[in-house]
A and B are shown apart, each in its own frame.
Chain A
Amino acid sequence: MVIDTRVCVACSACVYACKQENNVPEGYCRDWVVQETGGEYPKLTMENRSERCQHCDNAPCVTYCPTRASHYAEDGTVQINRSICTGCKACLAACPYDARFVNPEGFADKCSLCQHRIKQGLETACVSICPTGSLNLVDFNNIDQKTKQLLSGKVVYRQKEHAGTEPNLRWISASNKPGA
């Protein structure tokens, strides 16, 4: 996923759409928005971004899961097999992105990248609802022209790359000047 923070307004449409699509229990969410302000008055900067599980290529949650409930699916996403998850929270501790929670029904829960929708050729709930078009579903193994153009010439970053997780979410920085 490529998340364009230049346009995100932190409205949380992605969060509510996900909650509804995936029956996320009250009090919990699988994605969330961050509004970060920097600088000193009146020279302030702001970045708004939508965050979620980064579906890492080298995911600590998979590594540290004692029951193999957390696993890589065929499409490369990280998924949880609820029936063998014991809710031990090892994955919660291992995840550098704080992307997981324990569902009140007793299993670890997080963004599934709307696997059920992707299988049907649909976009994720968050991507399809986003009024600003900040969220872009991208297959990094097969980058299309539109994505190349979107990323070209811009400051793009990944979070906590030093953790060696090889995350699959990339953010177009809000620091990019208009027309970059």
Chain B
Amino acid sequence: MSHGKNFSRRDFIKISSIFLAGSAAMTTATGHAFSGADDKVGDEGSRVVYSFCEHCFWRCGIAAHVRDGKVYKITGSEHHPLSQGKLCPRGTGGTGLLYDPDRLAHPLIRETKGGRQFYRKASWDEAISLVAEKLWNIKEENGPGALAMLNHGYGVSFFKNMLSQIGVNKIAKPSYDLCCGPARQASVLTYGYPSDTPEGFDIKNSKYMMFFGTHFGENMHNTAVQEISDGIRNGAKIVVFDPRFSTLAGKAEHWLPIRPGTDIAMMQGLMHVLITENLYDKSFVEAHTVGFAELRDSVMEMTPEKAAEITEIPADAIRTIAREYAYHAPAAFVHSGRRTNWYGDALQRIRAIHILNALVGNFWMPGGVVAFKKFPLVQPPAAHEHPAYEKEAYSKYPFFPQDEPSNTITSHEIIEDTIAGKIKGLLIYGVNLPETMTLGRDKAIEAMKKAEFVVAVDVLPAEVTGYADVVLPECTYLERYDDLDNGRAFRTPFVALRQPAVPPMYDSRPGNEIAKMITEKWGIHGAFPPSVEKGLDRKLRLVGSSLEEIKKKGVLVMPETDLYRKPGEPLNLKTPSGKVELASAQLKAAGFDAVPKYAPQPEAPAGFYRMLTGRKPMLTFGRTANNRFLGDLATAKENEVWVSDRIAEKHSLQNGEYVRLKNQNGVVSEFPVKVKVTQRIRTDAVYMVHGFGHSSAKLTWAYKRGASHNQLISRTDIDPAMGGVGFQNNFVTFIKEAQA
């Protein structure tokens, strides 16, 4: 095997279609080729397999309906607390992934002949041998710190175990950097425990819910959407701060089209009113918080008039909302949202949200902030038990988590360290790196080209697979067991099973087998149970159940827990003070602001508009981009750039016309995007859904549909405290198609 150094500069390879599932799937009934549907109506002759979804991180329970060896329908599991029989489109659309004709069908190995790089089909044994040898050699020559894994998805636990066998624990979840990291760490700093999924808000019992930017309904977080609906039916009022009239804003009593990047000023303004008008919960603040005086002093100058000037929301509206919020408290909250990293100041912004909650005394109160519990499963040994680990976390950021074995470094540090040559081997599990908002597309590609060895484990020929030395085709979540899921906290703690509804198609294999094969090639035996089923059964027997039992309903559910605090009881939080920390001595000691303070963000250059992003309810970025079943609706086929009617007039843009976008660094979108002229957005911003504009021609559905948001990220703002990546300081203008 003479790979290695030859490939330190690697080119993108278009995977030949003969290695993809292609023609096999096309032979199913005309018209239903990608949906899994057969010609029968009704459920006669079928069986139901309960599992959980992988189309987003929420991990709802699903019921896969199987007949004649095919999944013909997926509905919400009636047993699973997060779905309660209901399901969002993406859950139903699992069949579109399972029967995607573009699926990776065989292991692939990069070869060079006559200066040309290409992939050739390999046997599993050959591909696994090569991966095992390359990873081992890099570890031997450079130490375990020269290997790293980027991961997204629930099948990763087996690869983590595999890497831990040789002392590698440099593992990053890009979702920490760009999505939930700030919320997690802000919760740790303020309450002493990390935030969870579903987020800790007692939505269904709330009377007044405030949202900053988060767009429930467009992000179909099933349980949260169910509870918001319950709230609306029960008469709850919704307040939405968003530069865009989102679907959630459409349900709001007050929609405040806030100037992007000024949220902290708004939050300080609300705190100012709560404090100066004596609307805050004095007894809670005195008994259960620290740092009130410092907080009070810090918001004194942020009068509603000053906040109005910054945020472009009238001072009267700020006063009204603060008063209404206090009136409905404690059954009122400000939601911390999801995909919280916008400007590199998200840790402080989410801290400001937690402070707004604490001020009205809604902590662990009905309709306020709550801490859902997890099912107490016996956990595997912690990461630091391996002697070769240098440390538990490798991130240089002071408030990066030290307690999360699946996330020990930021993904942008992995990209930077790979470009710098410190990391030489990359295992990329389920992350389409060129389209993941980490440091933008160019840096991701640079890192993959620089690495000595890249192995990608994936289901589809996403862009990332074109940069790998070896591509290992994993089967989909509907064809495999994964680890038990007790990672979700909710009203009724639960543990859920992922089990195969059908056997793996083509020459794809489950992650648990792939990881075990590599580990055994290293000569390490016994790291994995004899079979994945036996391993799951063993874990379940420790809690008095069994694999056989959990297979029936896909979930074990505990009774509802008490979420609310009792009068007079101390909170005993795991913060340094044991209380809710309005001002954080930890942040101050590390040289950061102890209380959140607004700082202005850069302005758009003339003729440019701030690029905002979000979701469509039927899509989850890369996971669903190539899903023909989900893509079938007109609203799902492409992304659009939302442009204010006033801005459209200025640039002579017509609704429905196609333009290319150009960012402040001169990057022009590879593909044109449709203009949506609308009143639903401010004049200083445009909006486009992330996850479109794919450049891999082997994603035959996603290819060239819409424009890539990721491609237009040239500037990132890293949160100096927790290491998250903000990317909303990118600005675009329009290039008419004829001029492009």
**Residues of A in contact with B (beta carbons under 8 Å apart):** 4, 6-7, 9-13, 15-17, 19-23, 25-27, 29, 33, 35, 37, 39-42, 44-48, 104, 116-117, 120, 125, 128-134, 174, 178-179
The one of B33, B37, B75, B255 that contacts A128, using a Cβ cutoff of 8 Å: B75
* Docked CA distance A4–B645 (Å): 30
* Docked CA distance A40–B644 (Å): 12
Interface residues of B in 214-249 (CB under 8 A from A): 216-218, 220, 222, 225-226, 228-230, 232-238, 245, 247-249
Contacts A26-B35, A104-B31, A132-B225 hold; do A20 and B92 have CB atoms under 8 A apart? yes
Q: Which residues of B contact A26 (CB under 8 A)?
A: 31-35, 628, 632
Q: Is B390 an interface residue (CB 8 A)?
A: no
Interface residues of B in 645-665 (CB under 8 A from A): 645
Q: Which residues of B contact A125 (CB under 8 A)?
A: 75
* Docked CA distance A35–B678 (Å): 13
Residue of A nearest to B313 (CB): A42
The 6 closest A-B pairs by CB, nearest first: A179-B235, A46-B250, A9-B217, A11-B617, A7-B229, A132-B229
Contacts A11-B617, A37-B680, A131-B88 hold; do A16 and B237 have CB atoms under 8 A apart? no
Q: Which residues of A contact B225 (CB under 8 A)?
A: 9, 11, 131-132
Q: Is B251 an interface residue (CB 8 A)?
A: yes
Q: Which residues of B contact A21 (CB under 8 A)?
A: 41, 73
Tell me how many residue pairs across A and B have CB atoms closer than 8 Å.
163
Contact, CB under 8 Å: A10 / B617? yes
Q: Which residues of A contact B39 (CB under 8 A)?
A: 23
* Docked CA distance A45–B36 (Å): 39
The one of A15, A104, A128, A134 that contacts B229, using a Cβ cutoff of 8 Å: A134
Contacts A41-B679, A178-B236 hold; do A11 and B89 have CB atoms under 8 A apart? yes
Interface residues of B in 31-71 (CB under 8 A from A): 31-42
Contact, CB under 8 Å: A9 / B247? yes
Contact, CB under 8 Å: A20 / B255? no
Contact, CB under 8 Å: A16 / B218? no
A55 to chain B, nearest CB (A): 18
Q: Name 5 extra pairs, CB < 8 A, besides A7-B229, A41-B644.
A: A7-B233, A9-B218, A15-B89, A23-B39, A48-B250
A44 to chain B, nearest CB (A): 5
* Docked CA distance A35–B680 (Å): 12
B54 to chain A, nearest CB (A): 17
Q: Is B350 an interface residue (CB 8 A)?
A: no
Q: Which residues of B contact A178 (CB under 8 A)?
A: 232, 235-238, 253
Contact, CB under 8 Å: B247 / A133? no
Q: Which residues of A contact B679 (CB under 8 A)?
A: 37, 39-41, 44
Contact, CB under 8 Å: B86 / A129? yes
Q: Which residues of B contact A47 (CB under 8 A)?
A: 250
Q: Is B672 an interface residue (CB 8 A)?
A: no
Q: Is B618 an interface residue (CB 8 A)?
A: yes
Q: Which residues of B contact A20 (CB under 8 A)?
A: 35-37, 72-74, 92, 95, 629
- 21 A-B pairs with CB atoms under 8 Å apart are A9-B220, A9-B247, A9-B251, A10-B217, A10-B247, A10-B617, A13-B92, A15-B89, A16-B93, A19-B37, A20-B92, A23-B38, A37-B678, A41-B245, A44-B249, A129-B87, A131-B76, A131-B87, A132-B229, A178-B235, A178-B253
Q: Which residues of A contact B630 (CB under 8 A)?
A: 16
Contact, CB under 8 Å: B232 / A7? yes
The one of B36, B73, B226 that contacts A132, using a Cβ cutoff of 8 Å: B226
By CB atoms of chain B within 10 A, which of A16, A46, A131, A133 has the most? A131
* Docked CA distance A164–B42 (Å): 34
Q: Which residues of B contact A41 (CB under 8 A)?
A: 245, 257, 644-645, 679-680
* Docked CA distance A25–B35 (Å): 9
Q: Which residues of A contact B220 (CB under 8 A)?
A: 9, 11, 13, 131
Q: Which residues of B contact A116 (CB under 8 A)?
A: 41-42
B56 to chain A, nearest CB (A): 13
Contact, CB under 8 Å: B232 / A6? yes
* Docked CA distance A44–B257 (Å): 11
Contact, CB under 8 Å: B92 / A129? yes
The one of B86, B236, B253 that contacts A130, using a Cβ cutoff of 8 Å: B86
Q: Which residues of B contact A9 (CB under 8 A)?
A: 216-218, 220, 225, 247-248, 251, 617
Contact, CB under 8 Å: B92 / A44? no
* Docked CA distance A22–B41 (Å): 6
Contacts A11-B617, A44-B255 hold; do A27 and B229 have CB atoms under 8 A apart? no
The one of B88, B237, B632 that contacts A19, using a Cβ cutoff of 8 Å: B632
Contact, CB under 8 Å: B232 / A46? no
* Docked CA distance A37–B251 (Å): 12
* Docked CA distance A117–B628 (Å): 26
Q: Which residues of B contact A129 (CB under 8 A)?
A: 75-76, 86-87, 92
Q: Is B635 an interface residue (CB 8 A)?
A: yes
* Docked CA distance A5–B288 (Å): 41
* Docked CA distance A6–B228 (Å): 11
B689 to chain A, nearest CB (A): 14
Contact, CB under 8 Å: B41 / A133? no
Contacts A35-B247, A44-B255, A129-B87 hold; do A12 and B617 have CB atoms under 8 A apart? yes
Q: Which residues of B contact A27 (CB under 8 A)?
A: 632
Q: Which residues of B contact A131 (CB under 8 A)?
A: 76, 86-88, 220, 222, 225-226, 229
* Docked CA distance A98–B92 (Å): 26
By CB atoms of chain A within 10 A, which of B32, B237, B253 has the most? B32
Contact, CB under 8 Å: A25 / B32? yes
B321 to chain A, nearest CB (A): 15
Interface residues of B in 72-100 (CB under 8 A from A): 72-76, 85-89, 92-93, 95
